[in-house]
Amino acid sequence: MRQPLCGTFNPSIDAKGRMSFPSKLRDILGGEFYLCLSHDKRYIAAFSIEDFDEYSKKLFDLPGAAGEQIRRDVLAGAEKQTPDAQGRIFISQKLRDKAGITGDVTVIGNYNRAEIWASDRLEASKTEVDEAEIKALLATISL
């Protein structure tokens, strides 16, 4: 089994959308990977080729007009990435706009994907879930 993606990184992103993608995550994702808007449209997800294929197949199992719209939203904006010699990737203006990325970014590993967030949006998301609910869920896990 491949290593899980984990860690928090704060790379800089320039006005043209070039960003140094964290080497720890690149090493696990592989030489090429996909970027796409998350289905909740809050961040950009980075998937290995294999995991993107699996995710795409799950999207095609979603029924009806809503499933069709989700596929359009996620797959139409997907971008295959090959980091350059310095480990930089290019994030299109379209993806940056949809994810609300206008300044600082935070990249986090989240098991089978990396997430590229507008730093302020990630911080705001941490207050959206009740602390008691988090504690209750964690209590169900035995180590």
Domain membership of residue 39 (yes or no) is yes
CB burial string 16-36: b at 16+ within 10 A, e below:
ebebbbbebbbebbeeebbbb
What pLDDT is recorded for position 61? 94
**3-class secondary structure, 30:** coil
Q: Assign residue 107 the CATH number of its domain.
A: 3.40.1550.20
What's the predicted TM-score (pTM) here? 0.92
- Give residue-wise pLDDT tens across range 103-134: 899 999 999 999 999 999 999 998 888 889 88
Domain count, the chain: 1
Domain membership of residue 1 (yes or no) is no
